[in-house]
Each structure stands twice: as structure tokens, then as C-alpha cells.
Amino acid sequence: MTTEPAGLNPRTTTRGRPRTTGTTLCARCGRNAGRARVWWPEGKVCGPCFTTATRTHGTCPGCGQHRLLPGPPHLEDGPRCAHCAGIPHDFHCTRCGTEAEPYRHGTCARCSLRDDLTALLLAEPADPAAMGRLVDVLCQAERPESIITWKRSPKVQTLLASLAAGTTSLTHGGLDTHIPTAARAVDHLRALLVHHGLLPYQDPYLARFEAWIEDKLRPLAPEVARPVEHFARWHHLRRIRSTATPESPARGPVHSAKQEITETAKFLQWLWETHHRNAASCTQQDADEWRASGPTTRKLIRTFFVFARKTRLNTSVDIGYYTAQSRPTLAQDRRLAWLRELLTGTSESRPYRVAGILLLLYAQPLVRVAALRADAITVDPATGQTYITFGVRPVPVPAPFGDLLLDHLECRPNLRTGVTESPWLFPGARAGHHLHPNTIMDRLRSLGIDLQGARNRALDDLVTQMPPSVVADALGYSYQVAFLHANAAGENWARYADLKRPVTRP
């Protein structure tokens, strides 16, 4: 018998905040509550337990039917349907007949959501067909309660009403007009529309980047703004436009471009105000003085001068590559301790534990971890061995972590708010997008993990156990990076290339 608890965190056995006040004792969770939500045959049941019960579906061990299972969950053969459990309540929706938690006047949450959206979008729509499709898309959410909560926001109400009236067109350009006042609502709605095919794909980072460039240029002096704009549009924007795809979004390139444009603008502004020189008349001494008198982020002006040399704007300044003075490394005992904690501990939820182990075990950057696809995980049907693919060939996953990884794959979060399928191993809250890498970084940093040191230690450890070129192919690194780590770890694999050459026989 299998049950499917909809909308719950599979790590926990209770739902909602702990109830420590009140005198009503829940017969299911044993916690105190202010009042009982219902009184069923086993006794009083609190609100969180009632919600859990009315969102659990599966095959009833009593009658063998697949239906809602609100019965006591602690029985040996699992919860039963209302009839077999003796619960005197009919959970069927009076509108669609689905067994679910009653939401409003005997109707389920999905039917209640459709009623609300019909009143908001289909009363007097400018485009009935488009609004009808929008209603259908929003009602497809696995957890319609999440869309009900989302649309309660006054900003969302204003956005939807504007779409219905035709004041805002159902296009990317139309949605962009609401970004200044309702950015989060626009992003969520846009992601749903793109995911369901009502709008063509548009990289959200690229669209924001174009607006960011305009804001960046506005306060600059004309002598500074002209070369910065040329650099931003003809070097960065053109390159990012040509490479951004749904499988490879522009998050990383846009982040790097913003840093380089910002540092370039700071430098040119300082150059104009201090020496009254512009990008064309800048000297090598000016660039050296700027870099030597501030933080290491000033090294980022190098890309601008490479571009300036290529476009003949300035051919006299030459800035070499920056070499870091230190190389953070996590001690091996600390790395193993963190692996043990993430495998067996309870310091974090399962998705972030899996992400942390991928960093500590396979030296995967978290930017790459966040963008892993679910089909990167495979299981050999003959041996039951789990594999994960980072580079040109799948690599085996050790048994303790393999079980955790498969559990995460089966119960991935963020698949209940407007989208039931996602290609990502770590789906984000926004439809069609994976979890933002910064979210994972912040959660692991809050535990105390040195992210860069952990990745360096993991890669150092791997290149001492096998040839760097094999590690590079398996983990998606370049040969240059793998051999640099091999040198740093004190291993000499220089002869490996000779070993791979075919032997010529006389």
C-alpha cells in the first residue's frame, strides 16, 4: 500500500508550527492546540493533522480503492479511507466530485480557485480566449491553495485585472510594465506562462540586464558613459544574447558582466575626475595606480582594456591576469565530518544536504549543482548501482549517498505551485527554473561550510587517487584545472599522457 501526501515535506511527520499553547490535546500528534479542527473516532484532531489527513491519497488497505485516506496514520497497514476508518464525513467536492479537503462551501480548493479566477478574469475580458487559457494554466497547480494565496496580494490582483481589461497585453513587454511595482508577481506569472507555452521563452536575467545597463549609465558623465556603454552593449550584451538558452540561462554571465561594467565605470569616473583623462587617453600608469590603491575587485578592469585594444580605443594599456595570493583549502578531517553530517544529520533539509554532498564528494561548483538535470541520475537495472553524470561519462554514487539522492529525486520540492514536471534536479519556486545557486550557497554557508575550500579539497583528493585527465572527464573540468590541482596536491601525473600512447612494435 502506498500513500501520496500532497503538499507536505517528506522529511517530517508533523505539519505546521509546533502547537505548545492551549489545552486541547491532539489525538494524532499528541501536541497541545488552541482548539480542535474536527472530532473523529480516535478523538480530537488539530488543524495541521487535519490538513495532512485530507491531502493524503493512496490505496486503502480496507476496501482496496484508490482514494483519500484521512484515517489514523499510525496503523500497521497505514491510513484508511473515511468509510473504512469510520469517519462520518463526505470529502467529495460538490462541484467536481474529487475527494479532497473542503475549502469553501463544500467545494475543493481547485474549484474555489476557478471560481475566483473566473470572477476576476472572465467577467468582461478584452480577450476571452487568452484569459480562458490563463485561468486553465493557473488552475493546473498541484496545490491550488498556493495560487489562492498568491493572488490575494493586491499587486497580483492589480496585474490580473489589468490583463483582463486589456490595459496590459499578455506579452513579455506588457508584463515588463508592471516590474517597478510588482516584480515578484510578474516573475512568477511570466514563468508559468512560459512553462505552459502561452509566452515564448525569454531569459529573465538578460531582460533585467538590459534595464540595468540603462540605470548604470544614467548618472555617469558623458566622457565616462560613452565607453562604458560601448563595452556593455557590444562586448557583454551581444555575447550573452548569443549564448543564452533555456538549458543555459544567462545568470552567471550577467553576474560577471555586471561586476566588470561596475568596476570599469568606477575606474573611468576616477580617471576623469582625478586626471581629467578618458578611456582613449588613459596611460599604463593610471591603470596600475588604480589597481594598486584598492581592493582586488579592481582587477576586473582587465576585460575592458582587452576590449579597448581590440576596438583600437586604447592600445597602450596592457593588464595581465590576476594571480590569487592564497588558496583556501578545507582540512580533510573537516571535509569528512561535513560529509558525515550531511549524510546522516538533521542540520538541513534534504535538498541542501544533497547539494552539499555533491560539493564535498565530487568537487562540483554550486552554480553547476543548481543547474543539474534530473536525467543526470541513472540506475543500472542489472546491478542497482546509481550513477550521476557531470562530464563525458557517468560516475558511480556510493551506496549511502545513492539512497539519499534517489529519495530526493522522488520527492523534489517546488513541484506543486503551477507546474507538476520539471527537468531540474533542484527545481526552483519559479516554474521552469532551477533553484538559484545563491540560495544553496547561503544555506550551506550558514552551516559553516567553507565552500571554496571544500571544493578545492575534494578536487585535490580526487586527483591524487586517479589521473587528472580522468577526473576532468568525469567531473566536467578542463584538463588545465585538473592538472593545476594535481600540482597543488603534490602529485605528478605528467607521465600519464605517455602511458596512454599506443605502443609501436617493430
Q: What is the mean pLDDT of residues 344-355?
A: 91
pLDDT tens digits, 119-160: 999 998 999 999 999 999 899 888 888 899 999 999 999 999
Confirm if 338 and 426 have CB atoms less than 8 A apart: no
Closest CA to 255 of 246, 244, 266, 247: 244
Confirm if 474 and 393 have CB atoms less than 8 A apart: yes
CA gap 130, 171 in Å, rounded: 11
Distances from the Cα of 73 to the Cα of 17, 42, 44, 316, 419, angstroms: 19, 11, 15, 76, 28
How high is the pLDDT of residue 333? 92
CA gap 253, 237 in Å, rounded: 10
DSSP 244-261: --SSS-SHHHHHHHHHHH
How high is the pLDDT of residue 420? 62
Q: What is the mean pLDDT of residues 454-476?
A: 91
Q: Which residues contact 261 (CB under 8 A, 6 or more apart)?
A: 213, 216, 228, 231, 232, 236
3-class SS string, 201-223? CCCHHHHHHHHHHHHHHCCCCHH
Distances from the Cα of 126 to the Cα of 121, 163, 165, 168, 319, angstroms: 9, 8, 5, 10, 58
How high is the pLDDT of residue 78? 87
**Domain 332-497 = CATH 1.10.443.10:** yes
Rama region for 444: left / alpha / beta (φ>0; ψ in -120 to 50; rest)? alpha
CA gap 289, 63 in Å, rounded: 82
How high is the pLDDT of residue 370? 92
CA-based end-to-end distance of the chain? 68
CA gap 18, 48 in Å, rounded: 9
Site of grid cell 549564448: 243
How high is the pLDDT of residue 6? 42
Site of grid cell 496580494: 153
Distances from the Cα of 469 to the Cα of 23, 145, 329, 369, 409, angstroms: 65, 51, 21, 21, 30
Q: Is the pLDDT confidence value at 366 over 60?
A: yes
Confidence of residue 500 (pLDDT cuts 50, 70, 90): very low
Q: Is the pLDDT confidence value at 3 over 80?
A: no
Confidence of residue 491 (pLDDT cuts 50, 70, 90): low
DSSP 13-35: SS-SS---SSSEEPTTT--EESS
Closest CA to 52 of 38, 62, 35: 38
Q: What is the mean pLDDT of residues 448-475?
A: 91
What percentage of the chain exceeds 90 in pLDDT?
59
Identify the three-state secondary structure at position 333: helix
How high is the pLDDT of residue 324? 64
How high is the pLDDT of residue 180? 83
Distances from the Cα of 196 to the Cα of 2, 113, 165, 281, angstroms: 30, 18, 22, 53
- 6 or 412, higher pLDDT: 412
Which range, 124-133, 190-199, 200-209, 316-325, has the best average confidence (pLDDT)?
Answer: 124-133
Q: Is the pLDDT confidence value at 323 over 90?
A: no
Distances from the Cα of 491 to the Cα of 261, 456, 468, 498, 500, angstroms: 39, 15, 10, 16, 18
Q: What is the DSSP letter of 467?
A: -
Q: What is the mean pLDDT of residues 220-233?
A: 95
CA gap 32, 21 in Å, rounded: 6
Q: Is the pLDDT confidence value at 19 over 90?
A: no
Strand partners, 45: 38
Confidence of residue 418 (pLDDT cuts 50, 70, 90): low
CA gap 161, 172 in Å, rounded: 17
Task: Give the amino acid at 192.
Answer: L
CA gap 169, 328 in Å, rounded: 51
Confidence of residue 343 (pLDDT cuts 50, 70, 90): very high
CA 163 to mean position of chain CA atoms: 28
CA gap 303, 423 in Å, rounded: 35
Confirm if 193 and 199 have CB atoms less than 8 A apart: yes
How high is the pLDDT of residue 447? 92
How high is the pLDDT of residue 444? 95
Q: Is the pLDDT confidence value at 188 over 90?
A: no
> Rounded mean pLDDT of the chain?
87
Confidence of residue 20 (pLDDT cuts 50, 70, 90): low
Using CB atoms within 10 Å of the CB of residue 417, give its burial: 0 to 12 exposed, 13 to 18 middle, 19+ buried. buried
How high is the pLDDT of residue 179? 83
CA gap 245, 375 in Å, rounded: 18
How high is the pLDDT of residue 10? 36
Q: What is the mean pLDDT of residues 43-51?
A: 91
DSSP 61-99: TTT--EEE--S-TTSTT----HHHHT-----B-TTT--B
Confirm if 342 and 325 have CB atoms less than 8 A apart: no
Q: Is the pLDDT confidence value at 502 over 80?
A: no
Q: What is the mean pLDDT of residues 264-288?
A: 95
